[in-house]
């Protein structure tokens, strides 16, 4: 008999990843396909099915019991639909129904949809940098910028699964127009494409034959290129403003940041922390710890699996099942009392 596994999909503007995850949170199998972000709805669905086909070919697929989907948002968890800002062809797209229709997905399988950053928050709270922390903001800084909130020891997803979507907080009322329709969103300053665009405008030139990517801009910033450094400073300032606003609203113990752009390390975290000291000036927001995600680029998959492993969560609070089967929510007597995770 096959061991019990959860299926997970992580859908973003750059890649569509999938995995089979065991009860301990370990990836048993992994598959990935580039996201045809400017393609048709059917081309995008075909890419998702390509990932599912690869997973279904793995022997562990026979033990599949539940399926979690983390997607770039906005999402509607109740309706099972997605409308990712950076995937134009999907608007109120019935992703859950389409995934369930895949011929290798078992009929009637329990399927859970969450925002990709909410999935990342679930993963980091279950087994990563936010483990044991009662109030945390977990962010994904990549092709887009998203976030998820841990409040009172529980993942707070909101009624539609979009709570904590920090990428669409306005930090400049006269800033650039965002695809979401607003102006000056964090995403227009701190997402990978925005960093690249600003670096190029500021005079950075990628190496001959190399693509202008956020990773290339980060390398140039580390080497002292002024245009690339200015782009990361601008990104850090926007992130700091949004983090400070969130901390003032809900009070936070910790901020965890993952995603492809966060892989640049101190190139991003350095200016972010410096600007945060200027923005988070209230007593209860000052000295807020900001740390890298512990689960790196697999957090979305682990979080989607964690969501899938939770039976019947309340609409406004997702309790993540731990390997022992006990909710990761802490009782009141185990609340964190300081900044950052406990040792």
pLDDT digits (tens, 9 = 90+) for 2-16: 789 999 999 988 899
- Work out the average pLDDT over 101-116: 93
pLDDT one-digit tens code per residue, 256-290: 999 889 999 999 999 999 999 999 999 999 999 99
pLDDT surpasses 50 at 298: yes
Reduced 3-state DSSP string for the chain: CCCCEEEEEEECCCEEEEEEECCCCCEEEEEEEECCCCCCHHHHHHHHHHHHHHHHCCHHHHHEEEEEEEECCCEECCCCEECCCCCCCCCCECHHHHHHCCCCCCCCCEEEEEEHHHHHHHHHHHHCCCCCCCCEEEEEECCCEEEEEEECCEEECCCCCCCCCHHHCECCCCCCECCCCCECECHHHHCHHHHHHHHHHCCCCCCCCCCCCHHHHHHHHHCCCHHHHHHHHHHHHHHHHHHHHHHHHHCCCEEEEECCHHHHCHHHHHHHHHHHHHHCCCCCCCCCEEEECCCHHHHHHHHHHHHHCCCCCCCCCECCECCCCCECCCCHHHCCCCCCCCC
pTM listed for this prediction: 0.78
């Amino acid at each position: 008999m096959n061991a019990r596994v959860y299926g997970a999909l992580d859908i973003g503007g750059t890649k569509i990843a999938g995995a089979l995850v065991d009860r301990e949170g370990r990836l048993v199998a992994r598959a990935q396909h580039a996201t045809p972000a400017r393609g048709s709805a059917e081309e995008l669905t075909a890419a998702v099915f390509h990932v599912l086909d690869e997973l279904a070919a793995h022997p562990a697929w026979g033990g599949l019991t539940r399926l979690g989907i983390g997607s770039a948002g906005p999402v509607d968890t109740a309706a099972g639909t997605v409308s990712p800002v950076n995937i134009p062809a999907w608007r109120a797209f019935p992703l859950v129904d389409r995934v369930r229709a895949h011929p290798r997905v078992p009929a009637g399988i329990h399927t859970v949809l969450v925002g990709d950053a909410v999935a990342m928050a679930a993963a980091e709270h279950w087994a990563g940098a936010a483990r044991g922390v009662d109030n945390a903001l977990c962010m994904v800084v990549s092709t887009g910028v998203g976030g998820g909130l841990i409040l009172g020891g529980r993942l707070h997803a909101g009624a539609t699964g979009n709570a904590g979507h920090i990428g669409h907080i306005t930090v400049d009322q006269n800033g650039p127009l965002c695809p979401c329709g607003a102006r000056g969103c964090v995403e227009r300053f701190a997402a990978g494409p925005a960093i690249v665009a600003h670096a190029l405008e500021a005079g950075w030139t990628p190496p001959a034959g190399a693509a202008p990517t956020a990773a290339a801009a980060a390398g140039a910033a580390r080497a002292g290129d002024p245009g690339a450094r200015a782009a990361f400073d601008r990104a850090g300032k926007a992130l700091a403003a949004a983090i400070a606003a969130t901390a003032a609203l809900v009070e936070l113990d910790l901020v965890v940041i993952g995603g492809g752009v966060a892989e640049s390390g101190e190139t991003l975290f350095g200016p972010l922390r410096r600007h945060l000291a200027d923005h988070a000036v209230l007593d209860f927001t000052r000295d807020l710890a900001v740390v890298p995600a512990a689960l790196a680029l697999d957090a979305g998959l682990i979080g989607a699996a964690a969501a899938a492993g939770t039976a019947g969560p309340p609409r406004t609070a997702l309790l993540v099942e731990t390997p022992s089967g006990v909710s990761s929510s802490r009782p009141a007597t185990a609340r964190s009392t300081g900044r950052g995770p406990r040792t």
